[in-house]
Structure 1
């Protein structure tokens, strides 16, 4: 396996951007959404696969949540890296691209991913949705759009 994608973006660069975005998003979730409850944040993420058992689990559930969190950040980083190399307007408008990508990530996570998991259902709350969207714009969309190189001319 090569250490770079077919578009010459190094695997190291993709991993670094995913780590930065995942760390920013994780920190925002812990600080803003969970009021500094680190373990609860990552047990919640682990509940996607393990259901309610994640909340009574210990370190293994926290680690599973961290793993899932960074895997998702890596997936969104890799996807953006692939499309940014093909769509010139993404690299030409990094600010707009980052905002739109953050909103796309919110939609994918909330309308597709989360409903397919075992995460406990909560009713829609506009304020919480807006906070989550802003977090994803600033912590996922913008860092990925700014740090991933776009199409070369």
Structure 2
């Protein structure tokens, strides 16, 4: 390993910690808000993205699958944000504004791309204005901000 390569490795920020902490926090906050809004069966609803209507008849295994999927999605969102910050330094420097906008982006991707392509058995839209506002605020504050803050706080 030459000196240029070793210097580049030392200067590269460590992203595993902010990805895991930000993703876990976002997943936890999102799950708690979903349970508050829709009840304890929400994990089966998440699992229905893979299993379709059969997920609602499933037991604890299906519920656990939904919970794992929820955290997988949140950690994936955190990984995308943190990896993008390697090229886009402003994501780390302006974490508050970027986190809020990233929450909006996550909401739009989930509702306009992921849900329509999944096996989720219910129509996704049209939205009521109150539901849209609640979804945007939840994603901005409980998903975007924990991810952006964890990058700011835990990357070196």
| Superposition TM-score tier, normalisation by shorter sequence | 0.7 to 0.9
Shift of residue 10, structure 1, vs aligned partner: 4.3
Normalised by the length of structure 2, the TM-score is 0.84
Pick aligned residue for 1:8 from 3, 8, 13: 13
Normalised by the size of structure 1, how large is the TM-score?
Answer: 0.86
Q: Using the alignment, how far apart are the partners of 2:101 and 2:18 within structure 1?
A: 22
State yes or no: 1:22 paired with 2:27.
yes
Task: Tell me the secondary structure at the aligned position of residue 140 of structure 2.
Answer: helix
**Residues 111, 124 of structure 2: 8 Å contact kept:** no
User: Which gives a bigger RCO, structure 1 or 2 (Cα 8 Å, sep 6+)?
Assistant: 2
Could you list the per-position Cα deviations for residues 62-85 of structure 1 after superposition, in whole angstroms to 9, with x for gaps in the alignment? 001001100000110000010112
Structure 2 residues without counterparts, runs of 5 or longer = 1-10
CA RMSD of aligned residues (A): 2.0
The unaligned stretches of length 5 or more in structure 1 are: 1-5
Instruction: Please give the alpha-carbon distance, in whole angstroms, between the structure 2 residues aligned to 1:85 and 1:47.
Output: 34
Asked if the contact 2:15/2:151 (under 8 Å) is kept, the reply is: no
Alignment CA distance shift 1:19-1:50 (3 Å): same
Higher radius of gyration, 1 or 2? 2
